A and B are shown apart, each in its own frame.
Chain A
Amino acid sequence: MASSLAGSFACNCKIPLHRRDESVRSQQRLLKSAIAPYHAVVLAKVKRLINSTNVTPIALRQGLFSYRGYNLTIPVYIALGLLLSVALYSVTANRFPFPQQIIDGFAFADWVNDGRSWLEDNLKTYTRAIAEVVKVPLEWLEETLWVLPWTVVLLLLVIPALAYGGLKLGLLTFFGVLFWGMVDMWYEAMSTLSLMTVSVAFSALLGVILGIIASQSDRFESLIKPVLDTMQTMPAFVYLIPAIFFFGVGATPAAMAIIIYALPPAVRLTNLGIRQVPASMVEAAQSFGSSRLQMLFKVKLPQALPSIMLGVNQCIMMGLGLAVLAVFIGGGGLGEQIWKALTRLKVGWAFEGGISIVFMAIIFDRLSYAISGVGKDKTRQPDTRFRLLPQKWDQNSVARSLERPLDSLCQLYHSAAGKLTGSITTPLHFVIPGLAAALQKRPLFLPGILIIVITYFVASQFNWMSSFPAWLELSLRDPIDYAIDWLTVNPTFIGITQGIRSTVFLYLLNPLDSFLSGLPWWYVMAMLGLIVWKSTTLRFAITTTAFLLFLAAAGLWEISMFTLAGTSVSVLICMLFGVPLGIVAAYSKPVDAVLRPILDAMQTLPAFVYLIPALFFFGGNKTTAVIATVIYAIPPVIRLTTLGLKQLPAEVNEVAGSFGSGTLQTLFKVKLPMASPSIMLGLNQAVVFALAMQAITPLVAGLGLGKEVYNAMNSADLGQGLTAGIGIVLLTIMLDRLTQGWTRNQRRALGL
């Protein structure tokens, strides 16, 4: 069920941008299930490809231009378009600025600012009242977490992790939680934890409700979709400062901002999950005469649960992304630590805060995933033995001596818990049979509670159990600082980084930027419209052109062109390095094993943390912003390339091999073309991620629309911020649809 749901979700191209900022694992899940149903088709295709005399990987052999069976229509068009553009550029460079009269007449920013004062005068009372609703549980939870002994908090997280995710997740959670105390950020982590818990709870609740409504009403759905798109792509800096006025400062407005920011995936995936319930099931329910409400709550909602849980999981990941930015409105917690560290250039300190966030993200992600049970194969027998390391390592004595005690401890815990629950439920059966049965199904529940309660009382007797003991503290600051310092002055390393910087600037960024902003605006607009039309629909092409006209009229044409150039260069670098890396990882297990945690960290580590080291190495200039963007946007490319290759049926190798095709030949002629939809999805992700990063890069000399937004925030000019924010939204939607269109065409070409 889950797989078919998510599968149709991944290739349902009506849902743009839903994967922004989402966790790695769900990407994999999505793709895995997206590809699975096509295996049989793919296999037939491989056979056909190999059998045909000339191996033509990409179909559509007929076209205007072709050479030795390769369809060259698109490359020829691209080449012609480029030639024309260069010719035009040499003639008209910088001669056609957008008419100033229109820009002067279109005072969008002023209109927004007028509207804002009206809103502030009329809405403040209501928004403050809403904020109170969030404030009460938030403050209560924060204070409770602060007062609770750290051991109790640890167990509160580890015990569910053990119960749902097994020993591996339990250990991960254990070390993650311990890490917060070890780097002396326990209270900050508790603040962030409470902020996340409360805001995600509200966001998920609201999202599911809205999602249910959207699934019942087509009109509501079409109304809410563009709103969700905008919410998800609008840089948070646009609304953080207005949030102060409406919701105050501190954790409460931060929670409000997170609720808004994290809402879209929950709405989207709930709506989708309900809408995707198979028609046969609905008919069956109808034939039994179920009413509409019955149908919704008894049939559709349970069926849609995996999708809904995926939405909640996404909600968490997006929320954590914003928890750091919340420092701009006094959100406190780990974000505050990172910000404090950064303003003092204490890189090691910032890294400690960043890694704490990474741990929180991973724990939340894995735990919510484990609890939801999505993707859990219920037919498979649970492993009789817990394993920390791969099965292959069984022979290794060190690994064994590590695993065995933990394993037996865990077994002991399970059997003891089972016995305890049994001894309680047996008499309980006579009193409340329902409760007893429920408890028996979850044998770890009661003992878990018992352990936590006991710990709570014991902890009040031992100081080291109630507040984090100093002897457990372990500072990473100095080694990290030392390493960064060493690299900063290392001539070889700096030589390399400066080489990269000048290459990117001189040969990519600068030429593309002057090219795009130098071309006449009407020409760029027409060309973009044409590309969009050919890749998607005429209707969307017209919308795109209208978007671009808006940007130009708002006086943001050149700035937008810079953003477009910067994003294109970043994405190009991502593809240039990401695809080969992904291929290597697909073929080599060690590389994959090394890459995996690094990519995990790159995706969840707040960008704030690595911006400063990037600046140390690459210097304060616009190229650094491009490099920071690459760091943020490259993981999905690598992952999706690896995944696309690994997901191909094993038979592909065999079939290709039996025709005498070598490894490289198989890779380039069969596997890569077949994995191309997945790689294209990586491209799409890179584009969306790169544009999301535009809002952050102004912190390290990034220019373009993001800089406009950031400047507007610094001078509390909502109009200017919103205009530039809309610019980012428009570019994101345009490029997202465009790349999705390419993915779809690629799929079609492959006959999927």
Chain B
Amino acid sequence: MVYCFMASESNRSESNVTPRNAHLIYAWASDWYSVGEVSKEPNNREEIMQFKQVTTTAAGALALCLTTAGPTQAAGILNSAVNDWTGGAVMCEIVHQIVEKEMDFKVKRIVMPSGPGRDEAIKSGDLDYGCELWPSYSTSNTQYVEEFGGDGSIVKLGDSGVVGVSSYYVPRYMVEGDDALAPDLKTWEDMNQYADLFKTLETGDKGRLLGCPAASWQCEDSKRMEMLGLNYEAVELGSEAAHWAEMQAAYKRQEPFIAYAWEPHWIHAALDLVAVELPEHSADQWPATGWALDVTYNYGNPEFVEKNPDIAELITNFELTNDMQAPLILAIDVDGRDMEDVASEWLDENEDTWKAWLPK
């Protein structure tokens, strides 16, 4: 079964490359029928042989799949939780490609929204590891991760390098420029002055703050507004997608809005946002303060970590800072490139960096 999976994978990756070189097909077809020139480029023949091989493998794999499960060729399978946001996903992808390249492991990428469901799966071993967990937003770290006072059923595998900042943001066109509507909106103390700008039908006299999209993130936006004496109503849009959509639509129409957001995030590549300064974080005063910096970390299933120390070490060593992540996010979300390509390009260009992460 494992073999089938691999074969299909190899077929998949090959096929993504070959058909785009349409000239190869013609070259090969003419070779087959012995009509005309064999090929214009002499070294094509090698490539042709290569994809002949691919198709044969495919057929072979099918035969194998149909009859019996083939022998395992890879050292194992890494069941990875892939984040559904670009920054987190590209981090995972870099790890995956190193694991596939250097450790002879197959990676099964499982995309699902982060949250308790995913943590549950990592705890029970259905998933082996996850990357870039934001401690402020996770309900399970205090429950499962030792470093946060949990019972150790999930293991922290080093910091991921990204340090997250959360705050309230306004679009730059509101605070800068000649026709800026709120030129003096710099800190939370200026927010009441401009509350009128953010009024909506539903919020009545109060300004509307687009708060954290889900209650389970425990941002406590409503409480913060109350405690800071701000004349705003925090609304929850239910999902992250809705939250960004609302911001993007308002931005495109150049309407005023004030919204919770965090960095690094692709939204900052799409929209030019400025943070509104909040009181410095303090656990005692929370939530009348801003957020703590999120030192994000990678995490894994303890059993998996024990059995695969090499991979665990790689993931622990792995580190990508905000500045390193930003161009990757830009390439994927703004230039619209494939995440796999962006990751493999990064690996090609930064061999020294990632070779140093490998276990000695």
Which A residues have a C-beta under 8 Å from some C-beta of B?
139-140, 143-144, 146-149, 187, 240-241, 244-245, 248-250, 327-330, 332, 336, 339-340, 342-345, 460-464, 466-471, 485, 488-489, 494, 501-502, 505-506, 611-612, 615-617, 619-622, 697-702, 707, 710-711, 713-716
Contact = CB atoms under 8 A, between A and B. Distances in A.
A5 to B, nearest CB: 40
B112 A249 contact: yes
B248 interface: yes
Contact of A701 (B19, B110, B237): B237
Interface in B55-93: 55-56, 58-59, 61-62, 65-66, 79, 81, 84-86
A339 B116 contact: no
Given A139-B1, A489-B252, A144 B113 contact: no
A147 B11 contact: yes
Contact of B239 (A245, A502, A506, A700): A700
Contacts of B293: none
A714 B19 contact: no
B4 A343 contact: no
A615 B253 contact: no
B305 interface: no
A562 B110 CA distance: 36
A339 B113 contact: yes
14 contacts: A146-B8, A250-B108, A250-B110, A339-B84, A339-B113, A340-B111, A463-B55, A466-B15, A471-B19, A506-B201, A615-B249, A616-B249, A620-B242, A620-B245
Contact of A148 (B62, B118, B237): B62
Contact of B242 (A245, A328, A468, A615): A615
Contacts of A700: 237-239, 242
Given A249-B126, A343-B84, A620-B237, A463 B249 contact: no
Contacts of B56: 460
Contacts of A710: 238
Nearest to B58: A147
A482 B28 CA distance: 39
Interface residues of B, number: 74
A621 B111 contact: no
A421 B10 CA distance: 39
Contacts of A187: 12
Nearest to B253: A489
Interface of B: 1, 4-5, 7-8, 11-12, 14-16, 18-20, 22, 24-25, 28-29, 32, 51, 54-56, 58-59, 61-62, 65-66, 79, 81, 84-86, 108, 110-113, 115-118, 120-121, 124, 126-127, 139, 200-202, 210, 214-216, 235-246, 248-249, 252-253, 266, 333
Contacts of B15: 463, 466-468
A319 to B, nearest CB: 19
A241 B55 contact: no
A495 to B, nearest CB: 11
B235 A715 contact: no
Contact of A715 (B18, B116, B201, B249): B116
B4 A143 contact: yes
A432 B215 CA distance: 69
B246 to A, nearest CB: 4
Nearest to A701: B237
Nearest to A711: B215
A620 B246 contact: yes
A485 B251 CA distance: 12
Given A466-B58, A620-B245, 8 more contacts: A144-B62, A147-B4, A240-B117, A244-B124, A249-B121, A342-B241, A466-B55, A489-B253
A619 B249 CA distance: 8
A342 B54 CA distance: 34
Contacts of A697: 238
A140 B65 contact: yes
B244 A249 contact: no
A332 B19 contact: no
Given A620-B246, A701-B236, A714 B110 contact: no
Given A344-B266, A463-B25, A488 B239 contact: no
The 10 closest A-B pairs by CB, nearest first: A467-B15, A716-B116, A620-B246, A714-B216, A330-B112, A715-B216, A330-B110, A146-B8, A248-B126, A699-B239
B4 A707 contact: no
Contacts of B11: 146-147, 467
Given A249-B121, A340-B84, A716-B117, A701 B58 contact: no
Nearest to A494: B253
Nearest to A618: B249
Contacts of A506: 201
A444 to B, nearest CB: 24
A462 to B, nearest CB: 8
A496 to B, nearest CB: 14
B224 to A, nearest CB: 19
A173 to B, nearest CB: 23
Contacts of A460: 55-56, 58-59
A745 B345 CA distance: 69
B21 to A, nearest CB: 9
Contacts of B243: 620
A149 B12 CA distance: 11
Nearest to B55: A460
Given A463-B55, A621-B202, A714-B116, A345 B239 contact: no
A146 B84 CA distance: 24
User: Counting chain B CB atoms within 10 Å of each CB, which of A140, A187, A471, A621 scores highest?
Assistant: A621
B237 A328 contact: no
B110 A332 contact: yes
A615 B241 CA distance: 10
A245 B117 CA distance: 9
Contacts of B236: 701
Given A240-B117, A467-B18, A620-B242, A485 B65 contact: no
A698 B239 contact: yes
A620 B260 CA distance: 14
Contact of A147 (B1, B8, B18, B81): B8
A328 to B, nearest CB: 6
A343 B85 contact: yes
A336 B113 CA distance: 10
B246 A619 contact: yes
A296 to B, nearest CB: 36
B19 A144 contact: no
A699 B4 contact: no
User: Counting chain B CB atoms within 10 Å of each CB, which of A187, A330, A700, A701 scores highest?
Assistant: A330
A463 B215 contact: no
B253 A328 contact: no
Contacts of A470: 19-20, 22
A505 B241 contact: no
